[in-house]
Chains A and B, each alone.
Chain A
Amino acid sequence: MTKKTIKVDYLARVEGEGGLYIKMKDDAVVDVKLKIFEPPRFFEGLLRGRDFKEAPDITARICGICPVAYQMSAVHAMENALGVKVEGPLRELRRLLYCGEWIESHTLHIYMLHAPDFLGYQSAIHMAKDHKELVERGLKLKKAGNQIVSLLGGREIHPVNVRVGGFYKVFSKQEFKPLIETLKWARDAALETVRWTAQLPFPEFEQDYEFVALHHPEEYPFNEGRIISNRGLDIDCSEYEEHFQETHVEHSNALHSALKERGAYFVGPMARYSLNFDQLSPMVQEAALAADLQKECRNPFKSIIVRSIEVLYACDEALRILQSYEKPERPYIEVEPKEGIGYSCTEAPRGILYHHYRLDEQGKILDAKIVPPTSQNQKTIEDDLWKFVPQHIHLSQEDLTWQCEQAIRNYDPCISCATHFLKLDIEQS
């Protein structure tokens, strides 16, 4: 009997601190652990007692890569609790801000974190020496996303312009003009990115996932929609906790999330794409089909193509919003505090981000619950490895380790997000 282990103490090219442990006996996998040891960060606890208006800026601090997602889930949950609906140009501007974040976050992952796996480099820096123009295009495309967030959000990281009810400040058509030129270039570059990712080498690894994403009949989802799956789930955000549950496992500081009835599920670009292909704009659908992507994608290694499709969509959608934009009369609508419970799910770059708040009559937060996408994908990442390793057992230890890391990077995990929580049980005698 031979025993073999694959151990990666520190995963590279993921956000945050995590490791991997796989144990094999006679070519069979007997244990897989995606270890998340970045310390928990107390956010749900520290929101208690704070004013409802503070939630978007406090929760944005959970992540430097996807702060907009936290702001969007927070404002929509608060508006849900307080009976307010933001419509018209303010709603459009929120979609625009999200476009900026998707472009930034996805492009960073495609070019800097994921591409080196496919081209056989240790890092984007090594890759840049041989693929200068490619990396330059990636950096410039990412910058287009940064430009949207820094103009509309007030700064690049942890934007300061978002508030419950709308924005602190809105801009004129004229002020947005330079963005239109940038985005026209970005849309072309995004199309090039789709074509380039489509011809990368992919291992055969089609899986039978339960995809979970938001779905809105008229648009590709950012801030609004029902939570649906390809196995019949179709619920309002307020029903989330009836269907999903979080559990603590010893090897992870991030709670594992599962569907109560069916276990592991998949959130993120591949789930969104597969459940919302019909909502993509025609030119994006065409680009996807030309890239040999079917209307549904089940190979997580191809998530790099799906991310590039979503970057193309985000550029196209941002242009649509900017070209039809009229400055709203007021930057926000007044929101009065009252007792209430609010729920929201929005589509962070890595998948659905759930927020739930309970407010007292002064609008102080009594309870908060936040479920980020990476904690929802942990089980699925481990499931992939259980299946992937036996199929590639013939590889050298070094190559197999690399491919296992790549299998994790398929999910663009954000460990900093996943460890935002704290569950503290005090036993008193």
Chain B
Amino acid sequence: MIIGVGNLYRSDDAVGILIARKFKDMASDRISVKEQSGEGTSLMEAWKGYDRVLIVDAVSSGASPGSIHRMDASREPIPSKFFSCSTHDFGVAEAIEMARALGQLPRQLQLFGVEGKNFQPGEILSSEIEQAIELVADEVFQHVSTS
């Protein structure tokens, strides 16, 4: 299953959703595609019953905009720099670590984080993110086809 996480009205935060939409046509008995806001408890529900899950989300870790962070969440904990920067609700990294503590992680969980630049309200992507989209989509495609 491919889960795109993000908010279409928060500029670069839309990237996860936009990438997931590229795979909508691929959705079949073998692959499902879902869109999620990033609220942790819903995310834990969304992947229930799936064995192999790939999440695409925008991240803000200080790396250069458009760079891709690939994390095998089923093997290692999500580094703390990817947790909600401080106080916001229960997000993607928290959901993954909570599921790990509860023994509810999918057997394979891959996280693709696309470094964003601008998370202000708006519907326009930064040019770096615009350029990265095809690249990330290709990688997602390769990952899905080979795993």
Question: Which residues of A are at the interface with B, using a C-beta cutoff of 8 A?
Answer: 10-18, 64-65, 108, 112, 123-125, 128-129, 132, 135-136, 139, 142-143, 146, 156-157, 415
Q: Which of B42, B44, B87, B101 contacts A415 (CB 8 A)?
A: B87
Asked if B41 is at the interface of the complex by the 8 Å CB criterion, the answer is: yes
Leading 4 A-B pairs by shortest Cβ distance:
A10-B86, A128-B101, A125-B97, A129-B101
Interface membership of chain B positions 80-98, coded 1 if the CB is closer than 8 angstroms to chain A and 0 otherwise: 0000011111100010011
State whether A64 touches B102 (Cβ < 8 A). Answer: no
Q: Is B87 a contact of A157 with CB atoms below 8 Å?
A: no
A415: B residues at CB distance < 8 A: 87
Contact status B87-A132, CB under 8 Å: no
Any A CB within 8 A of the CB of B39: yes
User: Once the chains bind, are A132 and B102 in contact (CB under 8 Å)?
Assistant: yes
Instruction: Please report B residues at the A interface, Cβ cutoff 8 Å.
Output: 37, 39, 41-42, 44-45, 85-90, 94, 97-98, 101-103
Contact B90 A112 (CB under 8 A): yes
User: For B98, what are the chain A residues with a Cβ–Cβ distance below 8 Å?
Assistant: 124-125, 128, 135
Are A15 and B89 interface neighbours, CB within 8 A?
yes
Q: Are B102 and A128 in contact (CB under 8 A)?
A: yes
Residues A157 and B37 in contact in the complex (CB < 8 Å), given A15-B87, A17-B86, A415-B87: yes
| Chain A residues positioned under 8 Å from B41 (CB to CB) | 108, 139, 142-143, 146
User: B102 — which chain A residues lie within 8 A by C-beta?
Assistant: 128, 132, 135-136
B39–A64 contact, CB under 8 A? yes
Asked whether, in the complex, the Cβ of A17 is within 8 Å of the Cβ of B94, the reply is: no
Bound together, the chains give a CA A11 to CA B39 distance in angstroms of: 19
Besides A10-B87, A13-B87, A16-B87, 13 other A-B contacts (C-beta < 8 A)? A17-B87, A18-B87, A64-B89, A65-B89, A108-B89, A124-B90, A125-B97, A125-B101, A132-B103, A135-B101, A156-B42, A157-B37, A157-B42
Write 14 A-B pairs (CB below 8 A) sorted by A numbering.
A10-B85, A11-B87, A12-B86, A15-B88, A16-B87, A17-B87, A108-B89, A135-B98, A135-B102, A139-B44, A146-B41, A156-B39, A156-B42, A415-B87
B87 to chain A: which residues have CB within 8 Å? 10-18, 415
Distance of A415 Cα from B7 Cα, bound (Å): 19
Across the interface, A143 reaches (CB within 8 A) one of B45, B86, B89, B90, namely B45
Q: How far is the CB of A8 from chain B (nearest CB, A)?
A: 10
- In the complex, how many angstroms separate the beta carbon of A408 from the nearest chain B beta carbon? 11
Q: How far, in angstroms, from A415 to B86 measured CA to CA in the complex?
A: 13
Query: Please, which residues of chain B bring their CB within 8 A of the CB of A124?
Result: 90, 94, 98
Nearest neighbor of A138 in chain B, beta-carbon distance: B41
Q: A10-B86, A16-B88 are in contact. Are A64 and B37 (CB under 8 A)?
A: yes
Closest to A415 in B: B87
Q: How far is the CA of A415 from the CA of B88 in the complex (A)?
A: 10
| A199→B37 CA distance, assembly (Å) | 35
Residues of B with C-beta under 8 A to A123: 94
| A10 / chain B contacts, CB cutoff of 8 Å | 85-87
Which B residue's beta carbon lies closest to that of A130? B101
How far does the Cβ of A214 sit from chain B's closest Cβ, in whole Å?
A: 26
CA distance A112 to B87 in the complex (A): 13
How many angstroms between the C-alpha atoms of A15 and B91 in the bound complex? 12
Q: Distance (Å) between the CB of B116 and the closest chain A CB?
A: 18
**Closest chain B residue to A14 by CB distance?**
B87
Q: Which residues of B contact A142 (CB under 8 A)?
A: 41
* Bound complex: CA A12 to CA B44 (Å): 21
Please give, as numbers and ranges, the residues of chain A lying within 8 Å of B88 by CB-CB distance.
Answer: 15-17
CB distance from B93 to the nearest CB of A (A): 9
Q: Which residues of A contact B37 (CB under 8 A)?
A: 64, 157
